[in-house]
Chains A and B, each alone.
Chain A
Amino acid sequence: MRNYFIAAGIAAASVGAALAVGAVMLQMLGANPIDGYHTMFSAAFGSAEGLAATAVKAIPLMLVGVGICIAFRANVVNIGGEGQMVLGGLFATMVALAIPEAPAVVLLPLVLLAGILGGAFWGAIPGALKAHFNVSEILSTIMLNIVAVQLMNFLLRGPLIDPGEIERGTRIPQTARLPEGADMPMLSESLNLHAGILVALVAAVGAWVLLWRTGLGFRLRSVGLNPAAARYAGIPVKRNIIIAMTLSGAMSGLAGAILVFGSESHRMVTDGSTVGFTGSAGFNGIVVALFGALHPLWTIPSSFLFGGMLVGANSLQRVAQVPSALVIALNGLIVVFVVSTEWHRKRLQSQAPAHAQSPDDVDQISNEQGSQST
C-alpha cells in the first residue's frame, strides 16, 4: 500500500514537473506564471461558458483516449488516431451528403455509425497487417495517417467540394453546409454545448464494461499482458489484436464524425494537413489515456483536464499574447515525464520488475484491475 502511494506520488510529480517547465516557459515568454496558470484555469473551469467549452474540447480527446485504452491494454500501439478520425469524418460526411433529406432521428444515428465504421475500417487494416503479416502497427498507422489526409484533401477538393466554392471560383476545400438533420443536438444553445459529450461519456463507460466485465475484454487484456500465456489458454491472439485495433479505430472515427457535425460551420474543411482537422486530438488522446492510467473511466476526468488546457491556452493567447502552441509542447512534456517514470512506478506497485510477468500474474492482475489500475 505504501508503494502504491509512492507510485501515485511519482505520477503527480511528473505532471508537476511538466507544469514547472511550463512556468519557466511562461516566464521567458514575458508572462507571470502564476497569473498565466490562473488565467488558464479560470477560463477553462471558472464559468459555465468555460466549462462548456472545455467539455466540447474534451469530446474528441475522451473518445480517442478511450480507444487508446482498449488498444494499449491489448498491447497494440495505435498511433493512427489522426487518420482514423479523418476517415470517420469522411464516412459520416458522405452519408450525410448522400441522404440529406432524411429526418434527424434517422440521419444522426446513421452518420455517427458511419463515423464509427470509417474509423473501424482504418483501424482494422493495421490490425490485420500486424496479426497476419507481422507489420509493426506503429508504422502502418503512421502511413495510414498520411494516406487518410491525402484522401481527405482529394475528396474535399474534388467530389465533396461545396458547389458554391466552384461557382464563386474560391475553391476553398470544404463541403457545403451539411444537412441540418445531422447537426449534433444542442444541450444548451447559450453555452454552445452539444450532445457529443454524452456520446463520449457513454463510450467511456461502455469501454470500461467491455474491458473489465466481459469475456472479450478479458481476452483482450490477456493478450496484452502475455500473448504466449493467452495463446496457451486457447485465446486466439491474432483475432484479438485485430479486434483491439478495430475498436480503437471505431472510437477515433466516432470522434471525427462528432467533430464535423458538432462544428460551428457544420462543414468538413481541410487546410491540407491532419492537424487542421483533428487539432492533434489523435495524438493528444494518447496523452489523455496515459494520464488516465489507460483506464476508460479515468480517461473522463483526464480528457476534461486536457480539454481545459486547450481552452485555457486560447484565453492565454488573447490575454497575455502567449501562443496557444504552448499547450501542445506541454502535452508532449507530460507524455515524456509520465512514460519516463512508468517503469519505476510499475516496479514499485508490483514490487517485482515490471518486465518479469509470469503467466500466473495474468489472473491475479485481472482480478485486481477492477479496483486498481496498473
Chain B
Amino acid sequence: MSDILTTTVIIATIASGIRLATPFLLASLGEAIGQRSGVLNLGVDGVMLLGAFASYYVVLETENIWLGVLTGILTGLVMGLFYAIITVPLRAEQGVSGIGIYLFGLGMSDLLFQKLVGTPLPIDQFDEWHVPVLSEIPYVGEMFFQHTPMVYIAFLLVPVVAIIINRTTFGLSVRAVGESPESADTLGVSVARVRFATIMAGNALAGLAGAALAIELGIFQQNLTNAMGFIAIALVYFGAWRAPGVMAGSLLFGMVGAIVLQAKTLGLIPRSASDIAAMAPAIITILALVIVANRFRQPAALTKPYVRGD
C-alpha cells in the first residue's frame, strides 16, 4: 500500500517539476540565443514581468488564453526591439542597461496592474492536453505526456533552438557574430541585423515565459517572477550556452522546487527547512559556474558592442 503511495507521490513530483521548469526553460533558451550572438540581456526578469502582466490582462478581459500567449510574445518583441536599439546602434553597456530594463519592467508591470486591475482576480488556465497513446503508458505517460500546451511548446523548442543554432546558415551567422564579429562582418554578415534578430527572438521567449508563468498560476501580482528571470540567465552559463544544457539546468530548478513543495505538503520537513532547500539550486548554479568558467569558453564577443574598424 505504501509502495503505491510512494510511486504516486514520486510521479506527481516529477510531473510538477517539469511544469515548474517550463518558464525557466523558455526564458533561458531565449537568453542563450542572444548570448550566442554576443549580447547579454540582464533584463529578462523585467521582460517576463511585462509579458506576464500583458497576457494576464488579455486573458482576464477576453477569456482567450491563446490570445494572452500571443500578447506575451508581442510584448517581448517590443521590449526586444527597444533593447536591440540600446545595445546595437547605441552600444550601451549591456550589464547595466539590462538592470534598467529590469527596473522598468518591475515598475511598469506593477503600475499597470494596480491601475488596470487592482485586485488579483483569477484567470482561466490551460487544460491539460493528454498526448494520444503516449499518455496511456503507465507512469511515463503521467510524468511526461499529461501537461498543458505551454510545457510541450517549451520542451519542443529545445531541439528547435539547437538545430537552428547548430545546423542552419542563420545559426552559423549567429555563432560567427558572437565569436568574432569582425570576421563575420568581413564575410558580409550584417552584425547588426543578426543581433537585432537574436535579441528580439530572445525577448519574445522571455515574454512567452512570463505568459506561461501567469497562465500556469492563473494570477498576477507585483514581482510575480521573484527573480526567476535572473536565474534563467545563470542557467545559460550552467548549460554552457547549449540548448540541452539549458534544459538540464531548468529541470534542476524545477525539480528542486517540486520536491520542496511536495515535502512541505506532506509535512516531511518544516516550513523553515524548505527555505534552506530553496537555496540549493542557486548554490549548485554557483558551483556549476565555477566548473563551466574553466571548462567552457563563453562566446568571445559576449557583452562587447561591435564597432566597425575597431
Contact = CB atoms under 8 A, between A and B. Distances in A.
Interface string B90-129: 1111011101111111111011001100000000000000
A283 B103 contact: yes
A140 B289 contact: yes
Nearest to A289: B96
B237 interface: yes
A193 B310 CA distance: 52
Interface string A142-163: 1111110111011001100000
B107 A325 contact: yes
Interface string B260-284: 0000000000111101101100110
Nearest to B291: A133
Given A139-B237, A325-B114, A353 B107 contact: no
Given A332-B104, A339-B93, A341-B90, A29 B115 contact: yes
A295 to B, nearest CB: 16
Contacts of A146: 227, 230-231, 279, 282
B86 A336 contact: yes
Given A325-B107, A339-B96, A147 B279 contact: yes
Contacts of B310: 353, 355-356
Contacts of A364: none
A112 interface: no
Contacts of B276: 150, 154
Given A129-B289, A134-B293, A135-B289, A150 B279 contact: yes
B234 interface: yes
A87 to B, nearest CB: 13
A341 B40 CA distance: 18
Given A133-B290, A140-B286, A154 B92 contact: no
A283 B106 CA distance: 11
A254 interface: no
A328 interface: yes
Nearest to B238: A139
Nearest to A140: B286
A340 to B, nearest CB: 4
B interface: dominant SS: helix
B223 A273 contact: yes
A333 B100 contact: yes
A332 B103 contact: yes
B96 A340 contact: no
Contact of A334 (B100, B223, B289, B307): B100
Given A150-B276, A290-B96, A330-B107, A143 B285 contact: yes
B226 interface: yes
Contact of A284 (B40, B103, B286): B103
A348 interface: no
A286 B111 contact: no
A336 B106 CA distance: 14
A139 B102 contact: no
A134 B223 CA distance: 31
Contacts of B307: 353, 355
Given A146-B231, A273-B223, A138 B101 contact: no
A256 to B, nearest CB: 17
A246 to B, nearest CB: 17
A143 B46 CA distance: 17
Nearest 10 A-B pairs (CB), nearest first?
A328-B107, A335-B100, A332-B104, A329-B107, A332-B103, A158-B272, A154-B275, A325-B110, A336-B100, A323-B114
22 contacts: A129-B286, A133-B294, A135-B286, A138-B40, A142-B233, A143-B289, A144-B286, A145-B230, A146-B282, A150-B278, A157-B271, A158-B270, A158-B272, A287-B103, A323-B110, A328-B104, A329-B111, A331-B103, A332-B100, A332-B101, A332-B107, A340-B86
Given A25-B111, A290-B96, A336-B92, 19 more contacts: A77-B96, A136-B289, A139-B289, A143-B231, A144-B282, A145-B227, A146-B230, A147-B279, A150-B279, A151-B279, A158-B272, A273-B227, A274-B227, A283-B99, A284-B103, A328-B103, A332-B102, A332-B106, A335-B99
